[in-house]
Amino acid sequence: MTEAQLQTHEWRQRLLATHGRLRQRAPLVHCLTNQVTVNFVANVLLAAGASPAMTDHPDEVEGLAATADALLINLGTPSADSVAAMQRASQAANRSGTPWVLDPVGAAALPLRRDVSLELMTSRPAVIRGNASEIMSLTEAGAHGRGVDTQHESQDALTAAADLLAQAEGIAISGRVDRLLGRSTTDTGPLTISLAGGSAWQPRATGTGCALGALIAAYLAVADTPLDAMICAHAHAAAAAERAELTAHGPGSFAVIWLDALDSVDLTDFLSDRLALD
């Protein structure tokens, strides 16, 4: 076994142990998320082994964000009240050291969300995750989308993601191939992981993208690094999606069986076969 192989083997073992810790510790994940998928995201967290708390009352979020094991902020359906809650929650998380994930849903198409996202980023999210258009929209060059779906492939956003590593420890770009970027400890540029897999049914069921943000938050509570958290979350979602696809008859049954699979899936095979360590 070469040193590189050995490191890879050890990394996989560490990721599997991280997955085990999620189920064992059931971290409390505070979610400020959107009204469309809030039920589904809560069920995703419960199925994966975490404990969700979904309040967005401005007077409740500071206390909860400070004491929760992780925080998710998802911009899918902002309101004046929920944006105020997001600001207070992200600041409380930053003060208390609660790791948090920013999911700038729709930021590529809707300027209000881009502005809110940029402001929230001053509270130092551990991870920013989105599709390629959303990630690109957060850099100066920007990008324009339509609705909440991406107009770009994940690799188009690699430069933008590398720039954003100045403001977050990890960037996750979801797409046909997911790209996960973490800071290198050796200053040789970002560590980039490519992860191919999942199911074509995922974009046909609302909330599967939002679920990735929630899963990253859950894993941040038990992982050694933000990169580990992103890999575990994306591998967990993709492995479960591949299993669900085997018996799903359409987008409705896919979403249901995906929840079943999030509960029971074993990540060993997936991490052995699919994880490309660049």
60: contact with a second copy by CB under 8 A: yes
246: contact with a second copy by CB under 8 A: no
CB burial of residue 270 (10 Å; 0-12, 13-18, 19+): buried
Residue span binding a second copy (CB under 8 A) among the ranges 145-153, 154-162, 189-197, 269-277 = 145-153
Work out which of 11, 14, 17, 36 binds a second copy, going by CB under 8 A: 36
Q: Is 61 within 8 Å of 72 (Cβ atoms)? A: no
How many residues bind a second copy, per CB under 8 A?
61
243 is known to lie in a ligand binding site = no
Q: Is 129 within 8 Å of 213 (Cβ atoms)? A: yes
- Distance between CA atoms of 208 and 193, rounded to whole angstroms? 20
Work out which of 15, 47, 102, 222 binds a second copy, going by CB under 8 A: 47
Work out which of 15, 64, 168, 217 binds a second copy, going by CB under 8 A: 64
CB burial of residue 36 (10 Å; 0-12, 13-18, 19+): middle
- β-sheet bridge partners, residue 177: 196
Q: How far is the CB of 240 from a second copy (least distance, A)?
A: 10
54 is known to lie in a ligand binding site = yes
Question: In terms of CB distance, is 148 or 212 closer to a second copy?
Answer: 148
Work out which of 102, 148, 173, 227 binds a second copy, going by CB under 8 A: 148
- Distance between CA atoms of 233 and 197, rounded to whole angstroms? 13
- Distance between CA atoms of 100 and 195, rounded to whole angstroms? 22
Contacts of 258 (CB under 8 A, 6+ apart): 205, 208, 240, 241, 244
Tell me which residues in 100-139 interact with a second copy (CB under 8 A): 106, 109-110, 112-113
Q: Is 110 within 8 Å of 231 (Cβ atoms)? A: no
Q: How far is the CB of 258 from a second copy (least distance, A)?
A: 7
Binding-site residue numbers for substrate are 54, 207
Residues binding a second copy (CB under 8 A): 28, 34-40, 42-43, 46-47, 51-57, 59-60, 63-64, 67-68, 76-81, 106, 109-110, 112-113, 146-149, 203-207, 248-253, 255-264
